[in-house]
C-alpha cells in the first residue's frame, strides 16, 4: 500500500461515523485481502476490546456490592468537583493577571453556576452551560489573547 493510498484510506476513515481506527482497519484489510481482509481486520480490532469489556463488566458485577467498591464510587463525585473547582481557580488566576474586572466576572459566573447546581438543583451540565453563556455575553467583545487563530 503506497503512502497516497494509506492517506486516502485515512481520510475516508475520518469521514465515517464511529471508531475511525476500526474503519481504517477495514479499508486496509479490504486493500490487502478483499472482503476476507475486512472481516479479519475489523474482528482483530473489535474482539479484543469486546473481550476486555466483558471481563471488566463481569469483574465489576462481582465486586459492585462490596463496601470498598461503594466507597470508591462514592468518592468519585467529590474528587471530580474538587478538580473542577481547581481548574476554575487556575483559569480565574490567569484572567486576574490580565484584568481584575475580568477576574471578578469569572468568579461571579463560577459562583453563580455552583450555586445554581447545588442550591437550585439545576443539573450540573445545565449550570455549566448557563455559566458559559453568561461569560460569553459578558466577555464576548474582548479581543483574543493570542495572535494565532485556532481555526484554519
Low-confidence winner among 65-69, 81-85, 143-147 (lowest mean pLDDT): 143-147
pLDDT tens digits for 7-30?
Answer: 888 888 888 777 888 889 999 999
Q: Give the integer Cα–Cα distance in Å for 22 and 41.
A: 8
pLDDT tens digits for 33-77?
Answer: 999 999 999 999 999 999 999 999 998 888 888 888 888 888 888
Q: Give the integer Cα–Cα distance in Å for 114 and 124.
A: 8
Q: Give the integer Cα–Cα distance in Å for 83 and 66.
A: 26
pLDDT exceeds cutoff 50 at 152: no
pLDDT tens digits for 116-140?
Answer: 777 887 787 787 787 778 777 776 6
pLDDT exceeds cutoff 80 at 92: no
DSSP state of 10: H
Amino acid at each position: 500500500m503506497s503512502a497516497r493510498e494509506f492517506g486516502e484510506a485515512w481520510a475516508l476513515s475520518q469521514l465515517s461515523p464511529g471508531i475511525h481506527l476500526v474503519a481504517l482497519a477495514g479499508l486496509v484489510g479490504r486493500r490487502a485481502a478483499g472482503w476476507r481482509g475486512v472481516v479479519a481486520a475489523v474482528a482483530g480490532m473489535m474482539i479484543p476490546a469486546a473481550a476486555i469489556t466483558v471481563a471488566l463488566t463481569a469483574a465489576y458485577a462481582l465486586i459492585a456490592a462490596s463496601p470498598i467498591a461503594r466507597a470508591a464510587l462514592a468518592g468519585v463525585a467529590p474528587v471530580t468537583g474538587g478538580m473542577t473547582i481547581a481548574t476554575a481557580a487556575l483559569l480565574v488566576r490567569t484572567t486576574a493577571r490580565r484584568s481584575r474586572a475580568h477576574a471578578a466576572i469569572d468568579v461571579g459566573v463560577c459562583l453563580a453556576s455552583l450555586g445554581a447546581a447545588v442550591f437550585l438543583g439545576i443539573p450540573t451540565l445545565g449550570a455549566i452551560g448557563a455559566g458559559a453563556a453568561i461569560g460569553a455575553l459578558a466577555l464576548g467583545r474582548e479581543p483574543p489573547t493570542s495572535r494565532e487563530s485556532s481555526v484554519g
